[in-house]
Structure 1
Amino acid sequence: MTRLVQRSLSSPLGPLRLVASDLALVGIYFPDHHPTPAHAGEEAARHPVLDVAARELDEYFAGRRRGFTMVLDPRGTAFQRAVWQALADIGFGEQRTYADLARAIGNPRAVRAVGAANGRNPLSIVLPCHRVVGTGGALTGYAGGLAAKQWLLAHEAALAVIRSDGDAPHGDLLRQVST
């Protein structure tokens, strides 16, 4: 079994728990994350993967980062990983519906399954499931709660207006990491 490490990171949304292997970030969890995270690790004050993740998230919350470069290894089924890659393709400050995601993965009838996979996203914020809304723009469930989702959307909307030069798109964040 792969050794996992974790660290708490203070954020405007409360403490986040970052979980990593030696090679990649595997989870970002809210205090009352729903569903309860499957991954946990031993506490690590210093760790190269956690250090990069903490720095990039701090920059994001401070409004100095619009995309992430950290190596990710979300653990899930092939279908879930396809949905999570579609999340990674949603640009900063943009929103998509569950139907949009289903079409993006080539399975337009899988809207409910896409919603379930979105709900199992282990890398909140970095794989931006907060950018997925219901039909007509309705805010739907979020692992960190709807208040956190509203905060993230407002944060990005404000920065998208202020700064339109932007970073490059996420690209293929879901590189396979051999562990």
Structure 2
Amino acid sequence: MSTPGAEGRRSVWTVMDTGIGPLLLAATEDGLVNVVFHADAAVRDAALARIASRLGAPSAEEPGSPLLAEPLRQFGEYFAGVRRDFDLPLDWSLSAGFHREVLHELAAGVPYGAVVGYGDLARRVGRPEAAQAVGIAMGSNPLPVIVACHRVVESGGGLGGFGGGLETKRKLLALEGVLPEPLF
């Protein structure tokens, strides 16, 4: 188990199985700090190294941690189709500046089952020329699913990009009723 030190902040993590593959959930005393798609061993290790470098302390695997109990419960409910909104404390320390501003707007202004265009989101934060920068902010989102970057699409109706892969984006949008479930 890691201990808090003068150099950094303690975080704990676990990997949970979901309908879109394994998700890594990491939390600090301030709240959930990171959600990572497709968390096989290599992805998990790279994500934990990034978290440690940003927070200044290594993370400890603690699936039974009280810091993870509520996130695990709420993610389970979301993937079971019974939860539409997450009610969790979030630690925003892995995001800053314009990216954080865009992610806050996305979290506050685009509900379950809705989508928004990259350009629309740029306008909402007062930067109508920044659609590409919004896309970059979505790609750096440390809290996907909760801060639902899968809900950001191209203005012409295309899915756009997605750090978790387009198949994952399709599955999340289908779960929320935006797209039909795949036939096979």
What TM-score range do you get, normalising by the shorter chain?
0.7 to 0.9
Q: Could you say what secondary structure the match of 2:176 adopts? A: helix
Q: Is the 8 A contact 2:114 2:178 kept in 1?
A: no
Counterpart among 86, 105, 112 of residue 92 in structure 1: 112
5+ long unaligned stretches in structure 1: 160-179
5+ long unaligned stretches in structure 2: 1-7, 53-58, 180-184
1:45-83 Cα deviation digits (max 9, x unpaired): 212221111100100011110001000113222211111
Q: Establish whether residue 65 from structure 1 lines up as the match of residue 72 from structure 2.
A: no
1:4-34 Cα deviation digits (max 9, x unpaired): 111011100111000111221000001266x
Q: Is the 8 A contact 2:12 2:67 kept in 1?
A: no
Counterpart among 140, 163, 166 of residue 120 in structure 1: 140
Q: What does 1:107-146 align with in structure 2 at a 5 Å threshold?
A: 107-146=127-166
> Do the aligned partners of residues 151 and 133 (structure 1) sit closer, same or farther apart at CA in structure 2, a change above 3 Å counting?
same
The separation in 1 between residues aligned to 2:34 and 2:77, in whole angstroms, is: 18
The separation in 1 between residues aligned to 2:86 and 2:60, in whole angstroms, is: 24
> Do the aligned partners of residues 95 and 49 (structure 1) sit closer, same or farther apart at CA in structure 2, a change above 3 Å counting?
same
Q: Which residue of 2 aligns with 1:39?
A: 51
The separation in 1 between residues aligned to 2:123 and 2:85, in whole angstroms, is: 23
Q: Could you say what secondary structure the match of 2:143 adopts? A: coil
The separation in 1 between residues aligned to 2:63 and 2:137, in whole angstroms, is: 31
Q: How many residues align?
A: 157
One-letter code of the match for 1:83?
Answer: V
TM-score by length of 2: 0.80
Q: Could you say what secondary structure the match of 2:51 adopts? A: coil
One-letter code of the match for 1:131?
Answer: R
Q: Which residue of 2 aligns with 1:152?
A: 172
One-letter code of the match for 2:162?
Answer: Y
Q: CA RMSD in A?
A: 1.7
Q: Which residue of 2 aligns with 1:106?
A: 126
Q: Which residue of 1 aligns with 2:16?
A: 9
The separation in 2 between residues aligned to 1:117 and 1:10, in whole angstroms, is: 26
Query: Which has more radius of gyration?
Result: 2
Q: What does 1:67-86 align with in structure 2 at a 5 Å threshold?
A: 67-74=85-92, 75-86=94-105
The structure 1 segments of at least 4 consecutive aligned residues displaced by more than 4 Å after TM superposition are none
Taking CA–CA contacts closer than 8 Å with sequence separation of 6 or more, which of the two structures ends up with the larger relative contact order?
1
Seq. identity, %: 41
